[in-house]
Amino acid sequence: SNTNESVIGYLSESPEYAGVRNGLEGAISEGFVELNAEGSFKFVHDKVREAAYNLTPDRDKKQLHYNLGKTLYSICEGKDVGNTIFLIASQINHGKEFIETDDTLRIPVAKLNMKAGEKALDGCDHKMAYFYFLAAVSFLPDDSWESSYDLSLRLNVLMARAANSSCQYDEAELTLQRICKRARCLQDKLPAYFLLVTIFLSQGHPNQGYATCSSI
């Protein structure tokens, strides 16, 4: 996989990874890594990448990814980092078991994944967007519909739309049903009802669509 110069720049700002650039220069001189025309660093061969990755014991790999994601997140929080948002979210998501035991991280990481999902939607990658929205919802606390209502509502609506656009209709329907059940008022439920009826009609189930409209 490729790592661009901006990521190296962000990492170099942290004490933990201050020597990353020197390490890369050494790897380039040894012939393990190359810098391509786009300014990205990459291993010269997949076998070299696999060998380097396997230097880390399997039991430590989740922690390695999580630490990398946390470092990038702390440096880049509040910045427009472009597509680097995908790297930050995917790395920090490896630490799900650590995040779920720290209530101070659950909402920030959920919002991080929501931003990654919205970025994927901007690029019309609905499957990737659904992946990040699903991760975001999984990080929400159990009482999120009470403690973080606006975030829960927005995330579930976004996830349902991404699921529908990537032809995951069952997942979209389940999410929409959850919104209709948990949303506080009709105004908040209407977008979910509208998409739910649209899905029923597109799937050839007009009776379910009619029943849904009649229940509002």
Please list the pLDDT of the chain residue by residue as tens digits (216 residues). 667 788 888 888 888 888 888 888 899 999 999 988 777 888 999 999 999 889 888 888 999 999 999 999 999 988 889 999 999 999 999 999 989 888 899 999 999 999 999 999 999 999 999 999 999 999 999 999 999 999 999 999 999 999 999 999 999 999 999 999 999 999 999 999 889 888 888 878 777 776 777 777
Query: What is the rounded CA–CA span in Å between residue 64 and residue 44?
Result: 22
Record the pTM.
Answer: 0.86
Q: Do 212 and 197 form a contact (C-beta atoms < 8 A)?
A: yes
- Please give the pLDDT value at position 210: 64
- Please give the pLDDT value at position 86: 95
Sheet holding 40-43, edge to edge: 3-4, 40-43, 33-35
Q: Do 93 and 133 form a contact (C-beta atoms < 8 A)?
A: no
Which 3 state secondary structure label does DSSP give 4?
A: strand
Q: Which two tokens stand for residue 143?
A: 């009482």
Return all residues near 168 (Cβ < 8 A) that are at least 6 apart: 130
- Please give the pLDDT value at position 2: 66
Which 3 state secondary structure label does DSSP give 122?
A: helix
CB atoms within 10 A of CB 9: 12
Q: How many Cα neighbours within 13 Å face the side chain of 92?
A: 28
CA distances from 196 to 84, 153, 187 (A): 33, 15, 15
Return all residues near 90 (Cβ < 8 A) that are at least 6 apart: 69, 116
Question: Chain-centre distance of CA 81, in angstroms?
Answer: 14
Q: Do 113 and 132 form a contact (C-beta atoms < 8 A)?
A: yes
- Please give the pLDDT value at position 63: 92
